[in-house]
Structure 1
Amino acid sequence: MIKLKDILYKVSLEAVTGSTDITVNAIHFDSRKVEFNDVFVAIRGTISDGHEYIEKAVENGALAVVCEEMPENVINGITYVKVNDSQQALAFMAANYYDNPSENLKLVGVTGTNGKTTIASLLYQLFTKAGFKVGLLSTVQIIVDKESFKATHTTPDSLTINSYLKKMNDAGVEYCFMEVSSHGIAQHRTTALNFAGGIFTNLTHEHLDYHNSFAEYRDVKKRFFDELPASAFALVNVDDKNGRVMLQNTKAKKVTYALKSVADYKAQILENDFGGLLLKVNDQEVWTKLIGHFNAYNVLAIYAASELLGLSTLESLKLISELDAVSGRFQYVISEGKITAIVDYAHTPDALQNVLETINSIRTKNEELITVVGCGGDRDRTKRPKMGHIASALSTKVIFTSDNPRTEDPDAIIEEIEKGVEPQNFKKIMSVTNRKQAIRTACQMAGPKDIILIAGKGHETYQEVNGVRKDFDDLKIVTEFLKELKK
């Protein structure tokens, strides 16, 4: 039980009807979850408008309503609070309700198009190995110390974030690493959180189905750094030209990392093969099981962040050499017949190019590189031909297939992907709409020492078709086919 006026601390109020000196139970933005003496926050979403459910929330027992527009029928005895932005209000309310849990640990946000999951997950792994109690909020999973929970969004809603951070406080967690998506920033899910640091990885073609332009997408990411406190650090990749943009208005301590540019933290790739990477990081050599030049950036970011958070150079380097690959990120199996099958989450043009270039930099060119790839439905359509172009240009054979078609026709998605294939690469491509059959076909085509890349879904263990999620695990399926075919 908590006073409404205490939950509304720091919320910019435009008008209040009724008393805020009332005791309430819980906060909800879904009217179906509202119970007696709860607060309902009406949020305008992309699919529905919470203002249409105010009456329903009151019927379910809401004692107070927070909204951007007062309802026509104001019911006596109910408190109505008008705000300019309900999502922003919810962020402050959630933090207040859970007693501002982000202030009781060191919270680090990782944002950018690619690398968020890898960096956040590896930092969780590293600080756990260093002997700390650590939390993780990621696309793959949410972890409170050693207890794991299923993740539903890259950046959960404000109530969910703060409820997990409170769990972390109760468990004695000292550090928490969190993926911060552009959607999460745009919808104020990270507002009211106290960050000890922010990391920027890179910015490429993604989420233009949600953001109106690349500039808007970039500026949303920048807002995260603009809002960091002076006590925090802002660690950015300056090999990406947008890295310095992120630092323009931040009050945080500015720190840079790069492989090619002048930076505070520099790395050089000394060796790169399927066994791992040998790097020279600020004049210190470190070996890691992670593979590929894109992981050199991830390792560098992890090293820099660990130092900024107080670990010594030698401890950081030692722990980096012990880190394991993240689920669905360049995970690979080698069959009895010496076929290497790689599963990777690459679902953007840049990520796919990175993975394919990494494989090509390691392979001897005497083997086939067979890529199985598709694009998700109900998402940015403009990237589809780009994915087709990259896959066909950088592979010896390509099988276009279904990803998560959602409500779209998978064959129509594949046709859009194929539009990016240049005439000289037509002979390399084929289409197999059924993803399982596409993976099987790749296994049948492969011979000893050949490499199969299955891109797009990575850690996901489902395929979503017309709102229904069915079990589907790329790594499990390719492993079974390679065994079955005795390859």
Structure 2
Amino acid sequence: MSKNINELFSSVNIQSIKGFWDVEIQNIQFDSRKVADGDLFVACRGTLSDGHNYIRESIEQGARVVVCEELPEETSSEISYILVENSLLALSQLASNYYALPSKNIQLVGVTGTNGKTTIATLLYQLFRKLGYKVGLLSTVCNYVDDKKIAATHTTPDPMQINLLLSEMVAAGCEYCFMEVSSHAIDQNRTTSLHFKGGIFTNITHDHLDYHKTFDAYLKVKKNFFDDLDKKSFVVTNVDDKNGKLMLQNTKAHKFSYSTRSFADFRCQVLEKHFTGMLLEMDGVEIWTNFIGDFNAHNLLAVYATARLLNQSKEEVLKGISELISVAGRFESIISPEGIMAIVDYAHTPDALKNVLDSIDALRTKNEQVITVVGAGGNRDKKKRPLMAKIAAEYSDKVILTSDNPRSEDPELIISEMKAGVIFNDLRKVLCITDRKEAIRTACMLAQKDDIVLVAGKGHEDYQEIKGVKHHFDDKEIIREIFKL
């Protein structure tokens, strides 16, 4: 659709303009390979490449307007160059304007933190559909425009994709959208120009330090999301996390808290735990839920708090929560004909792995074995590798270290870096099997009736990325094949 750049730049801080101002453009691109005739190209500085190096290529492809932080050495009199201080921020603002500010026409709630984002966002999507609303979802597992499923490629899409999906939600009559907000997205200004009705903080633990370098930098980026919320918004934070209150310090939004352990605006208590679910007391009412683990009590409480802050009735929300089902790849259980229980979970951080193993430990009789299969992703935060293996060995009877998504790294090197974290007395528990399928098969062969096999790290993913190529691989499919289900 054709747009005049006057409309697009209404909220963008322009430093200077070289060339024509009154120009019609067809589309906005930040990947020069996708530029077509009549497009606007935004030259963004990324972690792997700099869009400024592709300005000439974008013009050859047909770009009529170039947005950049510095002018190229050679410019064309037929092209408009618009100089900005931050191209990533400008892209976010341009994307929002291009799609007519869709986030202002829907109640958008963002969920951020290390663990729990996918579960909370997806359960809110499920709950509000049960409450009779048309709803959108932007998540790691899948995006939805009401009941229309759209494949997800990132935890948080790029600004153009976000605003396109939000505009489709508005057109479809969606009243709410629940969105995972990753630290990368916050840092890269992908969400800066969106209008959020509310924000949820889950927790923050060791992750993504390959990108953020330090934990303090990671923490600051998460906090920036809440700092940017306006006074018409709300923020609900997990005060059981030691950094939960920090997220509230500079926000203008209305502040609320949730907890399973201490005083808070929204509280719940775990009354009973079983492998089939939990009995919770939430806001003074007992409800049965189809979820396992204290971490899921936190997730469900965040869902409850958010729904109440969005003016939904207590009775309807509690009834809806009792009917919710687990998210794909999150503590999904498969039982063999012989009575072996396999659990598939996305846990790919030390804290998430400990939470899952803690939950299993709280439910087991101690007469059965816990056998954990776990790996660590390549080209990602290396510091968590030894921690993952240490936790797996401490909380399991047997551990098989294996390949996850090695990407461009040597999987055997990743496994050796994991094994280095295992304390001497636990080394006897540890096997190393690089082939993930064989690792899962071995764990299932070692297991006997009532034993529990945890396959951690990939959860909902149906691929394994090796040397830049994605191969089909689904932990659940492999387990069902081994169990002959």
Give the residue type in structure 2 aligned to 1:316. Answer: V
Partner residue, 1:342: 343
* Runs of at least 4 residues off by over 4 Å: none
For residues 176-209 of structure 1, give each alpha carbon's deviation from its aligned partner in whole angstroms, at most 9, with x where no partner exists. Answer: 0000000000000001100000000000000000
Partner residue, 2:411: 410
Partner residue, 1:54: 55
Structure 2 gap segments, 5+ residues each: none
Residue 275 (structure 2) pairs with residue 274 (structure 1)? yes
Give the residue type in structure 1 aligned to 2:369. Answer: E
Contact 1:3 1:20 in 2 (8 A): no
CA distance in 2, matches of 1:42, 1:29: 6
Partner residue, 1:109: 110
Deviation at residue 19 of structure 1 after TM alignment: 2.3
Q: Residue 208 of structure 2: SS of its match in structure 1?
A: coil
Deviation at residue 227 of structure 1 after TM alignment: 0.6
Partner residue, 2:161: 160
Matches within 5 A, 1:142-221: 142-221=143-222
Residue 473 (structure 2) pairs with residue 472 (structure 1)? yes
Matches within 5 A, 1:422-437: 422-437=423-438
Deviation at residue 282 of structure 1 after TM alignment: 1.8
Deviation at residue 336 of structure 1 after TM alignment: 1.1
Partner residue, 1:288: 289
Residue 382 (structure 2) pairs with residue 401 (structure 1)? no
Q: Residue 437 of structure 1: SS of its match in structure 2?
A: helix
Give the residue type in structure 1 aligned to 2:92. Answer: A
Residue 384 (structure 2) pairs with residue 387 (structure 1)? no
CA distance in 1, matches of 2:10, 2:156: 23
Partner residue, 2:330: 329
CA distance in 1, matches of 2:287, 2:334: 24
CA distance in 2, matches of 1:24, 1:409: 45
Matches within 5 A, 1:112-127: 112-127=113-128
Q: What TM-score do you get using the length of structure 1 for normalisation?
A: 0.99
RMSD: 0.7
For residues 91-113 of structure 1, give each alpha carbon's deviation from its aligned partner in whole angstroms, at most 9, with x where no partner exists. Answer: 00000000000111100000000
Deviation at residue 20 of structure 1 after TM alignment: 2.2
CA distance in 2, matches of 1:429, 1:51: 49
CA distance in 1, matches of 2:424, 2:63: 62
Give the residue type in structure 1 aligned to 2:342. Answer: A
For residues 241-293 of structure 1, give each alpha carbon's deviation from its aligned partner in whole angstroms, at most 9, with x where no partner exists. Answer: 11111100001010000111210001110011111011111211111101111
Partner residue, 2:306: 305
CA distance in 1, matches of 2:102, 2:94: 12
CA distance in 2, matches of 1:84, 1:273: 55
Deviation at residue 375 of structure 1 after TM alignment: 0.2
Partner residue, 2:236: 235
Q: What TM-score do you get using the length of structure 2 for normalisation?
A: 0.99
For residues 30-68 of structure 1, give each alpha carbon's deviation from its aligned partner in whole angstroms, at most 9, with x where no partner exists. Answer: 111111111000011111110011011111111100000
CA distance in 2, matches of 1:341, 1:38: 51
Give the residue type in structure 1 aligned to 2:21. Answer: T
Partner residue, 2:9: 8
CA distance in 2, matches of 1:222, 1:261: 22
Contact 1:372 1:401 in 2 (8 A): yes
Matches within 5 A, 1:366-385: 366-385=367-386
Give the residue type in structure 2 aligned to 1:131. Answer: G
Residue 72 (structure 2) pairs with residue 38 (structure 1)? no
Give the residue type in structure 2 aligned to 1:19. Answer: F
Partner residue, 1:419: 420
CA distance in 2, matches of 1:307, 1:17: 51
CA distance in 1, matches of 2:207, 2:359: 21
Residue 211 (structure 2) pairs with residue 226 (structure 1)? no
For residues 208-252 of structure 1, give each alpha carbon's deviation from its aligned partner in whole angstroms, at most 9, with x where no partner exists. Answer: 000021111001000000011111110000011111111000010
Give the residue type in structure 1 aligned to 2:297. Answer: A
Give the residue type in structure 2 aligned to 1:453. Answer: L
Contact 1:460 1:473 in 2 (8 A): yes
Partner residue, 1:445: 446
Give the residue type in structure 1 aligned to 2:26. Answer: N
CA distance in 2, matches of 1:356, 1:209: 25
CA distance in 2, matches of 1:129, 1:72: 57
Q: Residue 210 of structure 1: SS of its match in structure 2?
A: helix
Give the residue type in structure 2 aligned to 1:242. Answer: N
For residues 334-365 of structure 1, give each alpha carbon's deviation from its aligned partner in whole angstroms, at most 9, with x where no partner exists. Answer: 11111110000000000000000000000000
Q: Residue 242 of structure 1: SS of its match in structure 2?
A: coil
Contact 1:273 1:292 in 2 (8 A): no
Q: Residue 210 of structure 2: SS of its match in structure 1?
A: coil
CA distance in 2, matches of 1:249, 1:35: 43
The count of residues paired between Structure 1 and Structure 2 equals: 484
Give the residue type in structure 1 aligned to 2:244. Answer: G
For residues 278-332 of structure 1, give each alpha carbon's deviation from its aligned partner in whole angstroms, at most 9, with x where no partner exists. Answer: 1111211111101111000000000000100111100000000000100000001
For residues 396-418 of structure 1, give each alpha carbon's deviation from its aligned partner in whole angstroms, at most 9, with x where no partner exists. Answer: 00000000000000000000000
Residue 361 (structure 2) pairs with residue 360 (structure 1)? yes
Deviation at residue 483 of structure 1 after TM alignment: 1.8
Contact 1:368 1:450 in 2 (8 A): yes
